[in-house]
Structure 1
């Protein structure tokens, strides 16, 4: 890590000040946190600002289709055992948002940064990370990134030869192929429930053969790397074979996988697995995800699911019928405007639940549920859905902008 010499020139300091002012104006106008516009203003004044802001930090980059916001939060909590952390905790994960986050971290030792998949290689060049965590790749925002293998190739080429320690999910063939160009990889068996984007070999195009979580290509020989860290039930297995209990407030198998990767990252910075995992227990919700709120006299749990892989993991969190479920789907630019992914989600798993459908694209979702043979009711908004729902805690599942709409409506 660099010394305490101030890395910022007068121009860079001016850029930081201008960015913070722009963010403050945005917040005052009720247009959100202001992190994106603040970063854009700062980068316009000093294009090298991201690199300058990170010179005094040991940086961890976290990228994936699903789970990167939660994993970023878990890693940040673990590393706070060893020093102060700056992080883009609200999920603004493109260069402008990352710049805004780092601008507030002059006293930090570590930077734990979530990065959008398309921007990972560029951000890695700018901030010279000590570690990069790669969790998974699957179909998402089909109008913006339609081909997952192309994204994996971008990672593979952009990260080739990196000096960073790469902590990568051995159970995802696309991630394994992307990371295999890196000289220093720590492989984690974190699981891969969604396999629909992993039937062909990313190396040669042949058919991958699966046996449980193990996979390999019979044509070119590319196969699952041997992991040194693994999720085993409710425990993390470290490279020495020791088992460390996972105790999280966050629900589900996916979050145990996130915790396993986070423990491996923390260990690369000298934080003991037991210490890291104990600190992760303090995380009860992440940017509203998993929050249980009161609304109109009812208890609602807010769940985010942005793409088929995310919906699959979320379904495993839902209590058995007859727990009522509200589904909300939008297709704004932040979600991706192509809703054809709805047909990749196994909505039949919700059979038996009272289902209420809302959101901008509620009719698209209604058609999908009709074909799946699932009973549902289309509602005008959350208020109507909650009023119509039978007794019991209501599970509310929404994609990205629909989730933000719901948080505003319930005052979360």
Structure 2
């Protein structure tokens, strides 16, 4: 921990040691990183361990439906300009995984933590964060969190009166409503492509008006706050009106939005926008996302899209037709077992692309593509799909567990 005092009790030290041992055994057995099982064991031995590990850190929490892992990486890079950082960079974002990550950062000054939306209030209570970044809320894992407004309410209640500086996206009405219970909010105009989860007012249920980039409720007066930071094309505008260029190796508008929010967070800790944005250029890929890999003598770009909002952003950054596209969808526990969200995705955006369909739920996806009048082929697996693709770089879009399957197959 930063500082001279050692905040860990003998029991906490035992819990950390046991957790690391279990994680190492899990890795040796080939069962993944071991961070979740290690964290679970550590928390069983000392239920207050997360709070103890966080108490000497300046903690930043990052939560959203889309972009958490990437934004966590960008903030961590930016804050390294001001001191050592510990972070759950691999995306284990529930209390066990977070505890595991913090247990590995004994000399850190900052803890930059991605948090699953449903756990944000509890993790904020345990870690007393200095800053919380709230990016967006949309439908995802329908069997687990079907109602986005309930999540927003959970945030609103959990963050009420929080001492943290909340950096929130003013273009998402659900995020604004959730953040408005906090006394200290910095608003960022980060944009919102997907609007289908915010047509009714979260405050009163009235119909939301959306002229241009603005929004307001005609019935109760709930409206978009004035931002102090904004994404403007390829620049971040700071509260003084200065425009700072964004240079990222990560593609797409969504990642520029993530960079704008990350620059606002970095500024809370005294890291100036120019320094923060220059450091963000170091991030090339995030847990395999956006990686271009060689497989069967072809270049595959791996793209993660877990829900309708994510698919919409991903379609905006793929190569133009006739670039071949492989789509893979599973519906395992981590994805959500309800695939009805496929009907909310506008697959007509793939018109002109040769499409190849794989994954556990390839037939569900095939029906959806048929209705969208798309030309596609259903394939047995990635190998067959790649062999059927015409020449050129292949865009591979997959949801969560399908993406993990792909990474294992291509050795990434």
Please list, as runs of the form range in 1=range in 2, the aligned pairs for 1:3-402 lying within 5 A after superposition.
3-402=3-402
Partner deviation per Cα, 1:159-180 (whole Å, 9 max, x = no partner): 0000000000000000000000
Counterpart-to-counterpart distance in 2, 1:131 and 1:363? 44
- Structure 2 contact 2–107 (Cα < 8 Å) conserved: no
Deviation at 1:212, TM superposition (A): 2.0
Please tell me whether residue 404 in structure 1 is matched to residue 404 in structure 2. yes
- Structure 2 contact 324–392 (Cα < 8 Å) conserved: yes
Contiguous gaps of at least 5 residues in structure 1: none
Counterpart-to-counterpart distance in 2, 1:309 and 1:49? 35
- Structure 2 contact 2–106 (Cα < 8 Å) conserved: no
Deviation at 1:142, TM superposition (A): 0.2
SS of 1:149's partner is: helix
Partner deviation per Cα, 1:257-288 (whole Å, 9 max, x = no partner): 00000000000000000000000000010000
SS of 1:211's partner is: coil
- Structure 1 contact 88–113 (Cα < 8 Å) conserved: yes
Structural RMSD (CA) = 0.7
Counterpart-to-counterpart distance in 2, 1:358 and 1:119? 32
SS of 1:254's partner is: helix
- Structure 1 contact 4–56 (Cα < 8 Å) conserved: no
Deviation at 1:320, TM superposition (A): 1.1
Deviation at 1:213, TM superposition (A): 1.9
Partner deviation per Cα, 1:37-56 (whole Å, 9 max, x = no partner): 00000000000000000111
Deviation at 1:386, TM superposition (A): 0.2
TM-score, normalised by the number of residues in structure 1: 0.99
- Structure 1 contact 159–182 (Cα < 8 Å) conserved: yes
Counterpart-to-counterpart distance in 2, 1:4 and 1:68? 32
SS of 1:214's partner is: coil
- Structure 1 contact 2–55 (Cα < 8 Å) conserved: no
Deviation at 1:3, TM superposition (A): 3.4
- Structure 1 contact 328–362 (Cα < 8 Å) conserved: yes
SS of 2:215's partner is: strand
Contiguous gaps of at least 5 residues in structure 2: none
Counterpart-to-counterpart distance in 2, 1:4 and 1:163? 25
Deviation at 1:2, TM superposition (A): 7.1
